Structure formats: structure tokens, C-alpha cells
Structure 1
Amino acid sequence: MKTVESGILLKKLNYSETSLILQFFTLESGFQAYIFQGGKRKHKKGNILQALSIVEISAYRRKDSDLGKVSEVNALFVPKSLPFHPLKSGLAFFMTEVLSQVLQNSDKDVSMYHFIEHEVQWIDESDEFTNYPIWFLLKLANQIGIGINVEDQNGQIFDLQDGVISNRTPSSHLYANDEVVEILKILLNLKKTQVLAYTIHKTHRTTIIEHLVNYFKIHINGFKTPKSMSVMQTIFE
């Protein structure tokens, strides 16, 4: 059966000398994987299959297979800066590593698709994204139903298991009670533009991201620290 779907590229893997395995989060069906025979040759030039590319996928899928076969990929959004800007492309790679783990078993989720689509377009246009990885992880947590709650405005303990900031010290699971908890508590009450403009020392920024990655590890089965995290922390200093 032939399908035409809108998708955001989360992962691109080599399959052979000329072919690729592509993983997308699609508007119509959620997470989908395809083989693209000859994909390396067909898209050797251009940036249509870069991290977070928003494309239209024409494919064939058999009922007895989880792997579709791509016949054509066309750009739905042509970025002006994202593939060429080192900070933006590094950020995009980090986001795809996070999203591919969070969404690997996801069904159709129109709200999630439009959230990612909007953020890709925003990054392409924006020049202010130093704190963006923190905002993205916090927003993504909300999107998937594991948002962090502030139970006590005077709380200094981030309970990673229960997802709350309070003054209760957990007795049997991971928590954080360092100086960045106060910063995290503030950020949770700010809008996107305010988070991005908030002054955070680079060591504190690194620690907050580490806490949030550990939070995802607890709440998302199989979640691992993104390989791009150390590179991203370096370029966002």
C-alpha cells in the first residue's frame, strides 16, 4: 500500500553502500521507520535529509512488515540557516537523539508533531538559544506527561522519581539538592523568551541539563545519555 506522509527526520542510518534506514516522527502515523534504497545517491547533494528535516515521504508498506520502503522524499520546509550554522546544527542533533528515544514507540500525536515542527522553524529563524536545551527538555517533559511540578515555592530538593520540587528528602530514590534547584524552580515559572534570556552560569547550565537527562532516564524506558551532549555543552558555553 502506498502512503504519503509528513515527517520529521529523527535518525538516519547507513544500510548499504547506497541505501539508508530513516526514522521519522510523522503527522499521520507517529514513529515510522523506512528503508530508502539508493537514498545516499539520490540525496547526496542538498540538505533534505539532515537532522530534523521536515519532509513529505512517499512510501510503500506491506502489512507484514514494520519497515516501509521510501520511493521519494520532498522538502516541506527549506531551512535558511539550521544545516549550516554550527550551533544550530549541533542543537538539532542533540534534539534528534532525545526525540528518537522518547518517541520510538509513539503512535499518532498531532500535538507533538506540531510542537517539533514549530521548534524546528523557530530555531532556523532565531539567534537566541543559549538556554534552549534546558527549555526544550522542560517543554518536552510537559508534552509527554512527565512535567516537573513545584510543590513548595521554598523547596530545595528536586525529587527525580516523583518529578516534584519540595523540601521532602526521598529515602529510596534519586534526588538533587544542589544550588541549581533554585534556578530550575525559577525557570519552571518562566515563559520561553524569559528562559532564553535568563542569565545562567555555564557550569550551572551543564548541571541542570544533566539533572534533566537523568530525569528522562528514570521516566523513559531505555533512555540513555545522548552522545552529542558533551559536544553540545562545549559549543553552548
Structure 2
Amino acid sequence: MLISTNAIVLSKLKYKDNDLIVKCYTEQLGVVSFLLRGVLKSKKSSTKAAYFQPLSQLQLSIVYKQNRSLQSVSDTKMNHVYVSLHTQVLKSAIVMFLSEVLSSTLKEEEPNETLFSYLETTLLWLDEQSEFSNFHLLFLLNLSKYLGFYPDTDSIDAPYFNLKEGRFEPNQYGDYSISGDNLMLLKQLLGTTFDALQEVKINSKQRQSFLNMLLLYFELHLGSFKPPKSLQIFSQVFN
């Protein structure tokens, strides 16, 4: 079956001398992995290795076979050519970090067009911005909505947020209740759009603390999630 679909690259791995194994999040099929034979050798191939940078947005023609773990691609086109995501150091660090998070969290082999649209539009937004230091925080917080554990805001005025339960509470319970700067920033980001992010003023220490809290939140709600290996490099570059 030949299927044409938009796709976002999550990860790539060199296989043998000239092949790549690439995992993508596709609009039509959800998460799909591909074996791209000879892509590192053939200059004439329409499936060029340079297309498959982390979080690149592509249009793929897939030779799809239902029971095959690695699918084949018959044609590849760039859907969007990024201006800065793969060339600016800070944005490249964000791309590396978020691609690892998405590769770990997106497991479903079924379409979710709303989630795909979210990824597509937010990456294009980031590509165009000159102020983006808090982008990854709002990106991850909003991502939790599509993964099923977005914070319950019914009692948002309460003085604590329970990471394990995903809700605001009047009293502190156990090790997973947060308050202070992280609580204030959480409440602020819950009411913020990407276009208003530049109004959120925090320092690098606060940013790192909040990111660590978000990653713990993901761990508590996604059993298989582990902090990305690129976190240390990301923290050094970005802070």
C-alpha cells in the first residue's frame, strides 16, 4: 500500500555502512520507523540523508506493509525548510533535546492529527523567533495535554501543586507537592500563549529548576520515560 503523509523526524541511527534507520511521527500513521537503504552512499537518491535531521518536517511516500517493523520510503520531499532551527546553536540544542523527549514519549502507531498539528505549528513558530529562552518549558507543559496528564486547573488558586496527582491542592502531601517559584511559574505558563512567552521573566536557575520539575512530572505519569541523555549538554549550552 502506498501512503503519502506529512512527517516529523524524531530520531535517526546509522545502520551498516550506508543505511539509516529513521523514526518519524507521521500525520496519517502515528509513529513509524523506516529503513533507508543506501541513503548515505547514493547522491542521486531522492531520499537524501540531509532531509532526516531531528524534527525536520517532510512529506513521505511510504510503501506500507502492516506487519513490517521497518517500512520503506519511495519518495521524500521537504515540507518546510527551516531558517534557523538547525543552524543556530541554542535552537539546535533545543531541537536535540526535544527530539529525544518526543522519541521517548510518542509510542502510538495510530494517527493523532491534533498532536501532529501542535508539533508542526510550534516548531515553525520557534524557527521564526529571536526570543525563545522559555520555549521548551511551555512546549513540554502543553505536550502533557496531548499525552493525557495536563494539570487540572480547577483549583489553580491553591498554594500547592501535586505532581503525582496532577492537580492544585490546599495542603502539602509527600515529596511531590511543589510551591514557591516553580508553582508561580507553573500558574503563569498555564495561562500563557507562545506569542506572550517573552513576557515571562525568569533567570537561568529558575528555568533549570522548572525544567527538572517538568521532567519529573513526565516520569511520574509515563512509566517508560527517562530524562533525555542530551539534558546535561542542553543545560550547559542553554544556561
Q: Give me the TM-score of the superposition, normalised by structure 2.
A: 0.90
User: Could you say what secondary structure the match of 2:52 adopts?
Assistant: coil
Shift of 1:153: 4.5
Render the CA deviation track for 1:111-160: whole Å, top value 9, x for unaligned: 11111111121111111110111110111112223111344444332211
1:151-166 paired onto structure 2 within 5 Å: 151-166=154-169
Please tell me whether residue 187 in structure 1 is matched to residue 189 in structure 2: yes
Residues 177 and 163 of structure 1: CA distance in aligned 2, closer, same or farther (over 3 Å): same
What is the match of residue 62 of structure 1? Answer: 65
What is the match of residue 207 of structure 2? Answer: 205
Residues 137 and 5 of structure 1: CA distance in aligned 2, closer, same or farther (over 3 Å): same
Please tell me whether residue 96 in structure 1 is matched to residue 99 in structure 2: yes
Shift of 1:162: 0.9
What is the one-letter code of the residue matched to 1:132?
Answer: F
Task: Judge conservation of contact 1:37–1:70 (CA < 8 Å) in 2.
Answer: no
Q: Write the distance in 2 (CA, Å) between the matches of 1:88 and 1:179.
A: 25
Task: Judge conservation of contact 2:93–2:238 (CA < 8 Å) in 1.
Answer: no
* Structure 2 alignment gaps of length 5 or more: none
What is the match of residue 39 of structure 1? Answer: 39
Q: Which runs of 4+ in 1 moved over 6 A?
A: 43-46
Please tell me whether residue 15 in structure 1 is matched to residue 51 in structure 2: no
Render the CA deviation track for 1:3-54: whole Å, top value 9, x for unaligned: 2221100010111110011111111111111111112234797842111111
Q: Cα RMSD (Å) of the superposition? A: 2.1
More off after superposition, 69-78 vs 131-140: 69-78
More off after superposition, 145-154 vs 183-192: 145-154
Please tell me whether residue 131 in structure 1 is matched to residue 137 in structure 2: no
Q: Write the distance in 1 (CA, Å) between the matches of 2:141 and 2:132.
A: 14
* Structure 1 alignment gaps of length 5 or more: none
Shift of 1:183: 2.2
Residues 104 and 51 of structure 1: CA distance in aligned 2, closer, same or farther (over 3 Å): same
Q: Write the distance in 1 (CA, Å) between the matches of 2:49 and 2:39.
A: 12
Q: Write the distance in 2 (CA, Å) between the matches of 1:52 and 1:5.
A: 15
Identity %: 26
What is the one-letter code of the residue matched to 1:185?
Answer: K
**How many matched pairs?**
236
Shift of 1:105: 2.2
Q: Write the distance in 1 (CA, Å) between the matches of 2:107 and 2:23.
A: 9
Among candidates 31, 48, 51, match of residue 48 of structure 1? 51
Q: Write the distance in 1 (CA, Å) between the matches of 2:63 and 2:48.
A: 24
Residues 62 and 187 of structure 1: CA distance in aligned 2, closer, same or farther (over 3 Å): closer
Q: Write the distance in 2 (CA, Å) between the matches of 1:119 and 1:154.
A: 28
More off after superposition, 214-223 vs 41-50: 41-50
What is the one-letter code of the residue matched to 2:127?
Answer: D
What is the one-letter code of the residue matched to 1:71?
Answer: S
